[in-house]
Amino acid sequence: MSITPPHGARWPDIAAATGGGAGTTITGRDGAGTPLGPIADWPASLRTAFALCRLSPAPAVLWWGDGPVALPNDVYRDLLGPDHDAPTGVDWWPGDRDALAALLAGVGAGGPAATSPDVPVRRTRDGVDEERWFTFTHTPVTDESGRPAGVLTVGAETTAAVVGARRLRLLAVLADALAGAADPLEVARRAVATLAGAGRAPFAQLHLVTPDGPRLAAADGADVPPGAPGGWPLAEVLADGVPRLVPPRATAGRPAAPVVAVLPVPDPAAGPAAVLVAGLDPRRPVDADHRAFAGLVAGQIGAALAAARARQADHLRSGGGPDPSRAERRALRRAEALARLAGALSSARGREAVVQVLTTLAPAVVDAAALRVAIAPPGLTVLDVAGDDTPAGRLPIDADDPLARAVRGDAALPPAGGRTTGLCLPLRDGDGHALGALEVRWAGPVADDEALRNLLDTVAGLGSQALQRAELTGSAQAMAGFAARLSVTRSTAEAIEVILDAATTALGAELPGLAMRGEGRRVRLWHHDDVPGTLAATFRDLTVDDPRPIVRALRAGERIVLRDRAEFAARFPGLPDPVGAHGLVTTVALPLFGAGHRPIAALGFGWRRERPLRDTDLALLDTVADLCEQTLERVRLAAAEHNLVTRLAGRLRSSSLTTPPGVEVATRYRPAMSGLHLGGDWYDLVRQDGDRLAVVVGDVVGHQVEAAADMAQLRTMLNTLIRMGVPLEEVFLRLTELLGVGFLGTCLVVVVDPAARTARVARAGHPHPVLLPVGRPPHSVQTANALPLGMVDRPMTVTIVPFAPGDVLVAYTDGLVERRGRPYDEGVAALRRSLAGVRDEPVEAIADALLHDLAGSEDDQALVVLRHLG
């Protein structure tokens, strides 16, 4: 792909044609009146970042400049609604704008990527209020000089996790409110008041079952609509125990009512104890999760009703009435234990915490002797098992174990009926997919009846809600960590390493591979060493017309999701399936796009068990793609600049066409790769009379174009002064007189005289050269203290050292030895150790060894190695 952006006059048309509404709106304005300036004059870094933003499938906004100016994509604009139609500043943010401003300032000042977790986004669409939550990742974007100039914000939806946590909190509050209620009427009043007070149910009614039929015991809500035609279907629900959903209907003078749920309220010791009529939260879709939550609420109320009846019986007994039944006392204990379980799960953070709560508190709810929990990580072939006072371990999903069979069959074991000493129940998400299973065991046989199953279903429902929330929260945290790791990558190789290591970790996937175009029609597949050699061998000779999914994704920009190998065979008939042969079942090929919306890479990975990809999973795929695309584009630009600087350094090499006889010389220059930087380090070799050689190594402060310009000027002036025969002790003083003090840097000049077997050293604030004499250890050449360039105001002291046949002399810039978090002297010591280890090698090999052993610099590196040949 060309590194040159489209011509300024053409670029607005391209942006408008490919950017949707965002591209048309932004490019259609006269940018001269904004801090961005005329759009045709935008720098390449802004164009690239805006292209990545507007083409992102996830909601994204680019903040640019000190303002900052906000440039959102269509998905982000649609998320906030039609009121935002101008590129303003933080008005585009749906959350706390002061907090955003501080966060953007930190990231824009060179800080790492940051996150804004669970930001609420509210808008009205078609007369219906929507409420969603997103975790936004803020990644710095650098300009052409390598400095942060903007921040790209990308959102991943966390609505399911937030709603799940809120529902668990409501269950905990409800359990606390119902604890200790003295009679069923008190339970009804507290339950209805709690539900209506939570602000999520427009109204609630509780009808208690009496010998004369259901009777309204409590009702609350700001706007209780009338019953459905013919009344609420109370009798029908009591007759068959099946919940009903009553659709909204308009009445005269009032808007349409919400969807109303009419649910049986189970009694753990008997049949239905009541009927709950509740308006469902109009801000949330009436999906499987919503219906399951309503069922959990009904179950909680049923347990409280049973406990209240037990308390009534106990009160009668204390006043001389009949002794409460054993079933009533058990119902009281179970209701209190269920309240503790709901409260603890609502505050549990992370999967391990949820499992800990279930294994310690759930047994008391059902009077069990032991309880085990198996978690089924999506797409993996093993279960994580904990509980029963045994260490946590792993269980193959195909094992002949009740937990494994419950997950595989997605059904309770054994079937209901009769007496049993143990039961297994599957844990499911809102779409019915397995999250794991519970195994409950009793000390002796118990009646496996409807009452026990209702209670176990309530426990399983609470656990499923908590696990689903933990899974989504964990994915969001993994995405934030992935973004942070990508934000500090400095090269394509580093970016690929992070992508292969971290992108699939957030999804629990295996065997990742990244396909990228090579020379001509070739395609190269990058992968980790854990990919089996027999599998890697099948992808060695790829070309762009290869029919396999990962290359097709790269060629056509198509996201390919294959649920199982049967779907692979149907979509790619006759094509060998080496991925399936190595155990992967569900596979994904994810295209990654560059700034011109052309696919530049494709990321492939898979799972060893079929994984249903829900909407939240697909949103994570979009986020992974967006983060990878931005990073690859950033390091591509950095690599292009690096190549430019390297070529420039090649042109600035020695002005000496030949080295004098008796001296062997090797030179190296490696620019920094910490951004789009143009370095200020240099070296020069100047041939002098008498077969003498002047070696010059210098470093100008900075990494920007101005530093490079200073470097070129200094290099030229020093070369000229040395050629004119200016005495070495006066070279730096003359330089100050000619150029003044408008620059700052360091420099070293070493004049080697092979015939005289000496080296004369003048140093202006620069690192000391290192001398390796024959038969002796290397040491730094000590000279008199000297001021840096731009501050020299008197002749320098010249140090003369022996330079005998076989001796090696090394001159370098501080980028070779200086590292963040390490004392400078340790770096010099490392240089001397490395030099001693290769003392007998040719100077070219010595130079290569020093750069290899002292890798990891964030600064430019210039190096000259000389040997006296005798």
Question: Which string of DSSP letters, residue by residue, matches 514-538?
Answer: EEEE-STTEEEEEE-TTS-HHHHHT
Bond from prior residue into 414 cis (ω within 30 degrees of 0):
yes
> Using CA atoms, how far apart are residues 181 and 546, in angstroms rounded to an integer?
70
Cα-based distances in Å from 745 to 679, 708, 736, 748, 810: 12, 12, 12, 11, 20
**Distance between CA atoms of 232 and 238, rounded to whole angstroms?**
12
Cα angle vertex 321, ends 315, 322, to 5°? 100
Provide CB contacts within 8 A for 329, sequence distance 6+: 310, 314
- Write out the DSSP string of 382-398: EEEEEETTEEEEEEETT
* Sheet of strand 745-753: strand arrangement: 681-688, 692-700, 745-753, 758-764, 799-802
Q: Which residues are CB-neighbours of 868 under 8 A, at least 6 positions away?
A: 662, 663, 752, 754, 757, 803, 804, 805, 806, 807
| Per-residue confidence (pLDDT) for residue 437, from 0 to 100 | 93
What pLDDT is attached to residue 10? 43
Low-confidence ranges of the chain (pLDDT < 50): 1-20, 28, 30, 32, 252-254, 320-323, 653-656, 673-678, 703-706
**747 within 8 A of 789, measured Cβ to Cβ:** yes
Residue 314: phi and psi, rounded to 5, are -65, -40
Name the pTM for this structure.
Answer: 0.58
At residue 547, the pLDDT reads 94
Distance set, CA 777 to CA 557, 831, 833, 868 (Å): 59, 12, 9, 16
Tokens encoding 550: 């990962």
Terminal Cα-to-Cα distance of the chain (whole angstroms): 51
Q: Which two tokens stand for residue 552?
A: 């097709």
For the chain, the farthest-separated pair of C-alpha atoms sits apart, in whole angstroms, at 124
Nearest CA to 570 among 549, 543, 591, 545?
549
* Tokens, residue 300: 């909680």
How far is Cα 537 from Cα 510, in angstroms, rounded to an integer? 17
Residues 6+ apart with CB under 8 A from 301: 174, 178, 187, 191, 206, 265, 274, 276
- pLDDT for 13: 46
pLDDT for 677 equals 42
Tell me if residue 424 falls in helix, strand or coil: strand
750: helix, strand or coil: strand
Residue environment code for 107-123, b if the CB has 16+ CB neighbours within 10 A, otherwise e: bbeeeebbbbbbbebeb
From CA 286, how far away is CA 246, in angstroms rounded? 11
Residue 561 backbone class (left: φ over 0; alpha: ψ -120 to 50; beta: rest): beta
List Cβ neighbours of 478 (8 Å cut-off, separation of 6 or more). Answer: 502, 505, 506
What's the CA gap between 636 and 644, in Å, rounded? 12
